[in-house]
Structure 1
Amino acid sequence: MSMFLSSIDPLGSLLGLCLLLLGIGLLHAAWRRPQRHWPLISAGWLSIALAYWPWMKAAGFDKGAALASLLPGLLALLVIIFRTDWRSHTKAPVAARAAAKAVITSSWQRLALSLTQRILVVGLLSLSAAIGIGLAVYALLDASLVNRVISAALVVLLVWPALMVWSQSRVSLLKPALWFVGISLGGWLFTPAIF
């Protein structure tokens, strides 16, 4: 992994990442409009297509093309997860949601606390739990090393978004945080290959 990261040009990858973020932002802005806005849609896809060039210059043809193909989906998934009000789709009482919001009165304090909780619980702890599940799959599979690693990676890629959406749909992030810590510890301790 460190050899892979050391072979990537940081300036090219930063330019590629900026182009990808710009493209996703433009597509998201077009999606939020009531009618199709073809200039925004075209500019968004063009920006994503242009990101292939700096990524291929930064990481080589094969690795750069793979990164330029995978990152837009992951970045778009994060935008969708963090911008969607998943709590409105649950059956939690409105009074419970209002009481949770009324604890902190200042809007900027509420925003800072909410963002910190989302980064820690929805982002990092859910990733740790997904990796824990992937490690358990890795330990349980009776296959070659390559097949075990690929299967575990696929499980992580499929489980992580589901865990993020589930945690975003809860009224409080405390219960998802406890679940994620437990799953993480179980998965990490369950895998003898680490120790």
Structure 2
Amino acid sequence: MRMGPVVPVLVVEDVGHARETAEALVEGGLKVLEVTLRTPDALKAIQRMNLVPGAVVGAGTVTNDKQLGEALSAGSEFIVSPGLTDKLGHAAVKSGVPFLPGIANSGDIMRGMDLGLKHFKFFPAMANGGIPALKALAAPFFQCKFCPTGGVSPDNASDWLAMEQVLCVGGSWAAPAGASPETITGLAREASGLAA
């Protein structure tokens, strides 16, 4: 979460472009790459992106312990989930992998803290009330840090990053579908320049 202000959230439809997408993002300054398990080739994409020097590749949209195991076998260096269940939480903590579970309310955060976690993904950020909601949640959980994802864009990323408890934001805008490597590098360079 401290390696850059923006974590690209990637939905890889064509595994043939996975490596060049990762190369373009890393060249632009975004090294931490979240590949969502939303497509059939996501695990293959993780394996290919792991070949890119400087890339730190993890799996997102991990919803159960089976997917956790598959993601780790594919070489994921971190795990992101849209929510937090006891079963997934225990499995992720036991594995020792950096784990960023999604939270939307106080109960979610408390469940995570019971597992020894202090870093969370606030998701879906805008649908859950945006910055005012996270400020309200962060106040009683001052020891926690957050990565808002869902509705975060170049227009509002700096506002999120201005919050003391926000270490980074997640978003898909740095690597839009069908964009050329040059375009992705340019977008990544802009994103990596945001104040964290």
TM-score (norm 1): 0.23
More helix by share: 1
- Structure 1 or 2, whichever has the larger Rg, is 1
More strand by share: 2
Higher relative contact order (CA 8 A, sep 6+): 2
